[in-house]
Structure 1
């Protein structure tokens, strides 16, 4: 029997190291190692609290993986902000600056280590970052830019050693981040407190909710051509959940690696670093649609909630909102009765416009012809010029 190929997965990679570390070591080893230990306590804590795993650490460098790009950028901004605040109260000799690179890409799993371009690009991005700064790839930026209230600055495409194609890059203005004591109203990242591995209690505002992943909904329509519709429902539910900004939600790219696979939910929980898993199905027929969804606590191996909706397509957005609202209320009690605090997405009322957009999105996600993607988007805009998602998808095609 032929040997199977190496295991792979999609991961958000964080790479960081100290600026001018060799020079500092040459000047005073004891002081440098003492300061490194103090700074590493800040970086490692932020990575751990945001569901990251450090798999590489040599000298002054740190490499970590995250199931969610949102978790990765939250960890990076948290520890860069904390390091900046530490430096303000330290002597010049005791100050340390870190560079950070963030990338989302395919990696090869080898024991506890990860290899491949996904890791290599993160390392190259880190090397190009400003002292005390954060640089991220275009793919990483696309996953987090609409989910986080922070500013990203395009720094153009960069040629990287041993990487075939130029990599679009962005940076985060760390200098604009508020101090740790700032109120949640001015916090530029999803507000998360210390992790509580026990059950979620009424202290949801101070305990960090565990992460959640929405697996691709099954297409039960009996028509393979309706696959795009089920994928679109899944993606919209992921986006709706992300808008609550009260618990981490695994990105679409990561969750869709399980599409079409028979999965063990316990293994999904461990691989993704999540506690909660949402799965469901979509059946579309004529102007009717049936959506089923269930929320599972994978760590306890039991169903928390399930529901079924039989509606007309005209009510599809209401159903999606009901699904995400019900899941959010189960995962984080803090959101109950807090509908007014949630970001609201304005959806189209023209179902044909939305359908054209979903068809284009499906082709884009499958790396199909961008010309065909734009054609669907233009049809969508002709039907409803206010559907912003179609404009955004066209821009993503043009940038790629």
Structure 2
């Protein structure tokens, strides 16, 4: 049989992995899978919005390729920001933290997957990163050094498995708490740092949470969902539209993806009310069993009683 063709190209590679995933699964499989589902939904959305392509990965790891190293770096920073925010709503023992490595190099594409030294190096960088941190190669550092609000700490050369020559590794350090904002952001008229400062001062939740929530209700014909949005985001960017829809009694259109989006928002919110709202709307939904487990465990924790036998 003729071998499938190989494509070779230069690409920016991002590899991310959850620290302590096996331990989390051992402690509580159901809760770990619920947290993983919501975290991965956020991570995948960030990558896709930055024009990245996600390749076959295990649930606790991510392998993505980008046409631009700037996009890869921006995604890595956004992932760590989003995970920090998402974890704030979770008990310490359920929090998931990523390590991320970024490399730019030659890769091979075969049967819809990528491999080669370019991928292997990114994976080795991920293993060297701090929990919640990012490590990059010298080539990545040189490309980004004057384009992002971050500095790079030289960790020296490291000999890593299956790579012939030592790697010069740099750890990303974010200046003044600003999480690596790219200076030439092309998709926003407002500086991202200013937008986050405005959101924080107004006690508004992160943009990705609000957008995901709005996407879950925007096709609904149930006024209660618009009221729920307005309760959570009274000054949100879709508040005026929600009020208009509420006045008209919603819309008759439905999208089969609404349940998934609704669950992603509910499960990562850390709110029993949100999970209950999901069950009320989708009592036989595909995540109903998981939602019930989450509520039972939350109820047991609040009452001080164990949830198991």
TM class by shorter chain equals: 0.5 to 0.7
Deviation, structure 1 residue 192: 4.7
- Counterparts of 2:175 and 2:39 in 1: how far apart (Å)? 18
Secondary structure at the counterpart of residue 104 of structure 1: strand
Between Structure 1 and Structure 2, which shows a larger proportion of strand residues? 1
Match of 1:92 in 2: 92
Is residue 198 of structure 2 the alignment partner of residue 205 of structure 1?
no
Deviation, structure 1 residue 150: 1.5
- Counterparts of 2:164 and 2:20 in 1: how far apart (Å)? 29
- Counterparts of 2:126 and 2:106 in 1: how far apart (Å)? 18
Q: Call closer, same or farther: CA 1:190–1:43 in 2, change over 3 Å.
A: farther
Match of 1:149 in 2: 149
Match of 1:263 in 2: none
Aligned length: 190
Match of 1:104 in 2: 104
Match of 1:68 in 2: 68
Match of 1:83 in 2: 83
Q: Is the 8 A contact 2:149 2:178 kept in 1?
A: no
Match of 2:57 in 1: 57
Q: Is the 8 A contact 2:150 2:174 kept in 1?
A: no
Match of 1:41 in 2: 41
Secondary structure at the counterpart of residue 86 of structure 1: helix
- Counterparts of 1:176 and 1:32 in 2: how far apart (Å)? 33
Deviation, structure 1 residue 92: 0.7
Q: Is the 8 A contact 2:151 2:174 kept in 1?
A: no
**1:113-138 residue CA offsets vs partner (Å, 9 max, x unmatched):** 11100000001111111111100111
Secondary structure at the counterpart of residue 55 of structure 2: strand
Deviation, structure 1 residue 175: 8.8
Match of 1:15 in 2: 15
- Counterparts of 2:47 and 2:30 in 1: how far apart (Å)? 26
The correspondence of residues 177-196 of structure 1 with structure 2, limited to 5 A, is 177-178=177-178, 188-190=181-183, 192=185
- Counterparts of 2:125 and 2:176 in 1: how far apart (Å)? 21
Deviation, structure 1 residue 193: 8.1
Q: Call closer, same or farther: CA 1:174–1:46 in 2, change over 3 Å.
A: farther
Secondary structure at the counterpart of residue 56 of structure 1: coil
Q: Is the 8 A contact 2:36 2:60 kept in 1?
A: yes
Deviation, structure 1 residue 35: 0.7
Secondary structure at the counterpart of residue 161 of structure 1: coil
Q: Call closer, same or farther: CA 1:93–1:79 in 2, change over 3 Å.
A: same
- Counterparts of 1:176 and 1:156 in 2: how far apart (Å)? 24
- Counterparts of 1:93 and 1:190 in 2: how far apart (Å)? 36
Q: Which moved more, 1:14-23 or 1:140-149?
A: 140-149
Secondary structure at the counterpart of residue 151 of structure 1: strand
Q: Call closer, same or farther: CA 1:176–1:30 in 2, change over 3 Å.
A: farther
- Counterparts of 1:157 and 1:83 in 2: how far apart (Å)? 29
Deviation, structure 1 residue 111: 2.5
Q: 5+ unaligned residues in a row in structure 1: which ranges?
A: 180-186, 195-203, 209-400
Deviation, structure 1 residue 176: 5.3
Q: Call closer, same or farther: CA 1:18–1:191 in 2, change over 3 Å.
A: farther
- Counterparts of 1:190 and 1:22 in 2: how far apart (Å)? 38
Q: Call closer, same or farther: CA 1:191–1:32 in 2, change over 3 Å.
A: farther
Match of 2:281 in 1: none
- Counterparts of 1:24 and 1:175 in 2: how far apart (Å)? 32
**How big is the alpha-carbon RMSD for the aligned residues of Structure 1 and Structure 2?**
2.5
